[in-house]
Chain A
């Protein structure tokens, strides 16, 4: 696999940023600093980063309600994101979107999306743009095992194949549709065969292993960028937190999360892999971690201090022309 030292360090930084961002929000929500509904991505970092490391600003992604990780991996400003989650006037979306609607169109990030299965059809449109304007870009949608049961995802898969557009479906199976397990909710229990049934190849990856996702996505982008039409990347993974913050997770065995954190932590797996093979020294990774912690501290400090939106802001940005 072709991956440089700098790329590996950048990927690790992105993964650690997602983890620290989410762990910090988990704590701050309990302290009462953040309003609304928040869904954390910690545990799935290898997927977002393994995918987005192949993308540039001409490539578009659309995310889910669990979107912080995808935003960070696609290059959204972490401080702007934190301010948005705190509902601040200078947040990435001026405090009008919040956790479930973070977007940065300049970065090719078409938004987190509060509707399960809402994103894939929109990404088909972004892929049509790439095809019509010949941008050379690809459009990527992230969707989970829960969304795999939504008709919109089926429609998007079929239409992408029919129109032969550069569209990559990244399917993250984290085992739970909200409070219901994969084995119950996904008939046939096989998202890969379902997807293949639409007539596109599926590149499978180990969702805990950055390098595995990176390789699957390499094959996917190579195909879709070069006129090969749509394809999918499938990864099994887990979330370390509940469906939403405050979810007591009564559907999970008592020791499940502890075991996953011990055995299936993508950050630990990455560290072990690169240090044992001598690709990167542990001290480099330590330094990344301490820099990221400083960044997250700063993001929270600035978010807490930032001004709230005003009543007048309610009425702006509904239309471009009135």
Chain B
């Protein structure tokens, strides 16, 4: 099986699904780029990280829509297109820009079906780049999925590798509910084996990345490869961990996490979002409520601090959860037995 990057896997999924379903359209800022420029190069960008490259020449301007910088209208138009029979995949260039267009997610897309008594279908995907690691500072680095996970009516996908990204994106586009698809920018070039063809990964099914007996580690997005490194290192010392990647935060596969905690009695949750009202806190609370008597030690959360994402290399490195912090947490949760 060929090894490809997450960027390539997402691009492949978009090509596949646009080919398969003529109702799929792509819209966003610079999804092709070049319109109105002086070079005459029509596909001058293909997305700011190249995720949508090749779509315009293949599928044309009606289905690959370069929009003005208007996040509210991008999401709003995706909402309207979805309500009326298309399956739009909109791109918000950086997840941070949800601050500009939150209404169209929070009050519109998420609520149409419920407010309208079950009659609305809003099959849309909003792709957005998230996460730190590129020194992009406070307004281009956040992982805001906790905020959107808290909105009933949205589904939220947080892939950690190329294989999952492709299968989950195909599921997302075929899903009849609004789906927010988070792409961690520091994972775009990470490669793994990805099948050429069509396959889907269901929502709400966590991946058991490593199996062990002493500690349950739950990690999201870029924290998954970091945690793999730590878990594999500790395995050499005889400390074995279940490593669970939920893959979707809404719906959340509670049962896989609970089952693991019932066996290990110890939980470390790793996420690079700030700690308050986060997915990590949500998982910790869920386990405390539903598996309290199985716990042999207090749950430990490894998160970013309650600050904005800083710029300088040293500051961002200190801000983000690191392998060292994850390892320390696993040792600590074991030490308090």
Tell me the A residues contacting B by CB distance below 8 Å.
60, 62, 91-97, 101, 103-106, 110-111, 113-115, 118, 120-133, 139, 151-152, 155-156, 158-159, 162-163, 316-322
Closest B residue by C-beta to A89: B117
Chain B: CB-nearest residue to A129:
B84
* Cβ contacts under 8 Å, B107 to chain A: 114-115, 118
Are A103 and B115 touching (Cβ within 8 A)? yes
- Considering the chains assembled together, what is the distance between the CA atoms of A91 and B121 in angstroms? 19
Contact across chains for A101 and B73 when beta carbons are under 8 A apart: no
Among all A-B residue pairs, the 3 with the closest Cβ atoms: A121-B76, A125-B80, A93-B117
Residues of B86-126 at the interface with A, using a CB-CB cut-off of 8 Å, are: 86, 88, 103-104, 107-108, 111-121
Task: Give the one of A95, A106, A152, A159 with max B CB within 10 A.
Answer: A159
Q: Please determine whether A122 and B119 come into contact, CB atoms closer than 8 angstroms.
A: no
User: B83 an interface residue at 8 Å Cβ cutoff?
Assistant: yes
Q: Which residues of A contact B11 (CB under 8 A)?
A: none
Chain A nearest CB from B32 CB (Å) reads 13
Given A131-B62, A151-B72, A319-B153, the answer on whether A110 and B115 have CB atoms closer than 8 Å is no
| Min CB gap A12→B, angstroms | 29
Complex contact B115–A121 (CB within 8 A): no
Interchain CA distance A117-B85 in the complex, whole Å: 23
Q: Return 10 A-B CB contacts under 8 Å, by A number.
A: A97-B117, A101-B115, A103-B115, A125-B80, A126-B80, A126-B81, A126-B84, A131-B62, A163-B67, A318-B113
* Number of B residues with CB within 8 Å of any CB on chain A: 46
**Does B291 touch A at the CB level, under 8 Å?**
no
Most buried by A among B75, B116, B120: B116
* CB <8 Å contact, B115 and A122: no
Query: Does B139 interact with chain A (Cβ within 8 Å)?
Result: no
Residue in B27, B103, B113 whose CB lies within 8 Å of A118: B103
Question: In the bound complex, do residue A319 and residue B79 qualify as a contact, i.e. CB atoms below 8 Å apart?
Answer: no
Q: Output the least CB separation between A315 and chain B (Å).
A: 10
Once bound together, how far apart are the Cα atoms of A60 and B77, in whole Å?
13
Contacts of A110 in B (CB 8 A): 80, 83-84
Across the interface, do A322 and B251 meet the contact criterion of CB distance under 8 Å?
A: yes
Residue pair A126, B83 in contact (C-beta under 8 Å): yes
Whether the pair B177, A319 counts as a contact (CB closer than 8 A) is yes
Instruction: A316 to B108: give the CA distance in the assembly, Å.
Output: 18
Closest to B69 in A: A155
Residue B191, interface by CB 8 Å? no
Query: In this complex, which of B72, B75, B108 has the most chain A Cβ atoms within 10 angstroms of its Cβ?
Result: B72
Shortest CB-to-CB span from B322 to chain A, Å, is: 36
Which residues of the other chain, B, contact A316 by a CB distance below 8 angstroms? 118
B253 interface residue per 8 A CB criterion: no
Tell me if B82 is interfacial: C-beta within 8 Å of chain A. Answer: yes
B130-171 contacts to A (CB < 8 Å): 152-153, 155
Residues of A with C-beta under 8 A to B86: 125, 128-129, 132-133
Contact partner, B67, options A114, A130, A159, A319, Cβ 8 Å: A159
- Check A125 against B79 for contact (C-beta < 8 Å): yes
Contact at A94–B68, with CB atoms within 8 Å?
no
Contacts A132-B62, A152-B76; is A320 near B152 (CB within 8 Å)?
A: no
Distance between Cα atoms of A127 and B83 in the complex (Å): 11
Kindly identify which residue among A95, A118, A125 contacts B78, using a CB–CB cutoff of 8 Å. A125
Query: Chain B contacts of A159 at CB under 8 A?
Result: 67-68, 70, 73, 77
Please tell me if the beta carbons of A321 and B68 are within 8 angstroms of each other in the complex: no
Q: Given A60-B84, A121-B75, A158-B70, do A105 and B116 touch, yes or no (CB 8 Å)?
A: yes
List B175-231 residues whose CB lies under 8 Å from chain A: 175-177
CA distance A163 to B61 in the complex (A): 10
B25 touches A121 (CB 8 A): no
- Say which residue of B73, B113, B114 sits within 8 Å of A124 (CB atoms): B73
Given A95-B117, A125-B81, A318-B114, output 9 extra A-B contacts at Cβ < 8 Å: A96-B115, A106-B119, A118-B107, A121-B73, A125-B80, A128-B27, A159-B68, A317-B114, A321-B175
A321→B117 contact, CB < 8 A: no
Task: Kindly state whether residue B288 has any CB partner on chain A within 8 Å.
Answer: no
CA distance A159 to B68 in the complex (A): 7
- The interface centre, meaning the residue of B83, B85, B120 with most chain A CB atoms within 10 A of its CB, is B83
**Cβ of B15 < 8 Å from any Cβ of A?**
no
Which residue of the partner chain, among B67, B88, B113, B116, contacts A320 with CB atoms under 8 Å?
B113
* Complex interface: chain A residues within 8 A of B114 (CB): 96, 317-318
Interface check B65, CB cutoff 8 A: yes
**Residue with the greatest number of chain A CB neighbours at <10 A, chosen from B67, B76, B117, B177:** B117
Docked complex Cα distance between A293 and B14 (Å): 55
